[in-house]
Structure 1
């Protein structure tokens, strides 16, 4: 997008959404959606991508609805600061809370998709989690053994264990890559 078109879009957003809480709620949702699509473009696993594309399309369809809500809220209760305008019954607070949650949920969806990229293709997610936990436990046991071996080797004549061979690397026996 060129400089002038970016400038026009920014001015349009300022006119429709203001600079306050409604603009922030809209922008938070849009940034989360952009991040979700950026992560989706980086996915190499065809199965994961095929599963995520319909969800991405549904999420993209929500952006005009969020924008319409934020524009309507700015029209009814304009704000250019960080305070939520007062309303009878607090419905504007409720609206802002739900818009904020939607933005946070969008960011969490992008994070979950980013983490899903690291799953092992063809393995059930619960099985992959169990394997990762086992690998971490093996790594911890290996570090403990190595620490005891170093401590025992320094004992010498005091009767400590002498281990000269290094503990086997837990990474070598793990089928799942370490995160």
Structure 2
């Protein structure tokens, strides 16, 4: 396990660097991990079954976020916490959307925690998950323009 983690870390360093693109990717991945941790604690089978498709759809975004961050690191390497300069500031916009996606994912995990406690509606999870999708889609659109 330790060897696999070290190997993954080296792969991440090579593809994502150690700057803003790595940080955006890692924020998203941590939010996804937290979402799934909260999901595992839902005891009501109906609520669990209602949230699983949303969890799967969010998990499907991780390779896309990674690809965007890796492409950004390749085109505009970042070794520190400064977003590289770009024509029209489009890299700032891409980074902003990726960061917003990670933050929206964290709020979606909070919504799952409320469902877990029977204190919040499943619709709130779906709304927040939709925001995550919107931000990732917008980052991809900005990258492709």
Could you say which TM-score interval applies, normalised by the shorter chain?
Answer: 0.7 to 0.9
Where does residue 60 of structure 2 map in the other structure? 61
Distance 1:84 1:90 in 2: 9
Q: CA deviation at 1:115?
A: 1.0
Structure 1 runs of 4+ with >2 Å offset: none
Distance 1:66 1:21 in 2: 13
Unaligned stretches of 5+ residues in structure 2: 122-145
Where does residue 39 of structure 1 map in the other structure? 38
Based on CA coordinates, which of the two structures has the bigger radius of gyration? Answer: 1
Where does residue 114 of structure 1 map in the other structure? 113
TM-score, structure 1 as length reference: 0.66
Where does residue 101 of structure 1 map in the other structure? 100
My pick for the range that moved more, 41-50 or 17-26, is 41-50
Where does residue 13 of structure 1 map in the other structure? 12
Distance 1:98 1:109 in 2: 16
Q: When you count helix as a share of all residues, which structure comes out higher? A: 2
Where does residue 85 of structure 1 map in the other structure? 84
The root-mean-square deviation of aligned C-alpha atoms, in Å, is: 1.2
Where does residue 52 of structure 1 map in the other structure? 51
Unaligned stretches of 5+ residues in structure 1: 126-179
Q: CA deviation at 1:119?
A: 1.5
Q: Higher relative CO (CA 8 A, sep ≥ 6), structure 1 or 2?
A: 2
Distance 2:34 2:4 in 1: 22
User: SS where residue 81 of structure 1 aligns?
Assistant: coil
Distance 2:37 2:118 in 1: 18
User: SS where residue 93 of structure 1 aligns?
Assistant: helix
User: SS where residue 19 of structure 1 aligns?
Assistant: coil
